[in-house]
Amino acid sequence: MPAGFTESLYVFVLAGFLGFELIKRVSPLLHTPLMSLTNALDAIVVIAAIIICGRHESNLSTILGAIAVAAAFSNMIGGFLITDRMLRMFKLSGRKKQ
């Protein structure tokens, strides 16, 4: 087993349980923004894409990396943007928009 695997597994198990506890508390009202927000957070794979692209091990890895940067970064930008747009719409009674 390669170095680091066990640590990753620790982190994965703990983060999985933490995620479970956190998401359970999210109001069902917000399940759509939840999905777009977690997609935006998941788009942090962009940092791995940047490293793959910028290490320039081969032309192939650079090109695949650049496409991955574009895909992940568009998810990050678009995900945060739409989540915020949706959340701005949730108002309590008696408070009008604007």
List binders of other proteins among 21-50 (CB under 8 A): 22-50
Does residue number 57 form part of the binding site for other proteins (CB under 8 A)?
yes
* Cβ atoms of 68 and 50 closer than 8 Å: no
For tokens 């977690």, the residue is 38
Q: How many residues bind other proteins (CB under 8 A)?
A: 90
Q: Per rule CB under 8 A, is residue 19 in the interface with other proteins?
A: yes
Using the structure block, give the residue that is written with the tokens 């945060």. Answer: 80
**Per rule CB under 8 A, is residue 6 in the interface with other proteins?**
no
**Subset of residues 60 to 89 that bind other proteins, contact rule: CB under 8 A:** 60-89
Decide if 71 contacts 45 (C-beta within 8 A). Answer: no
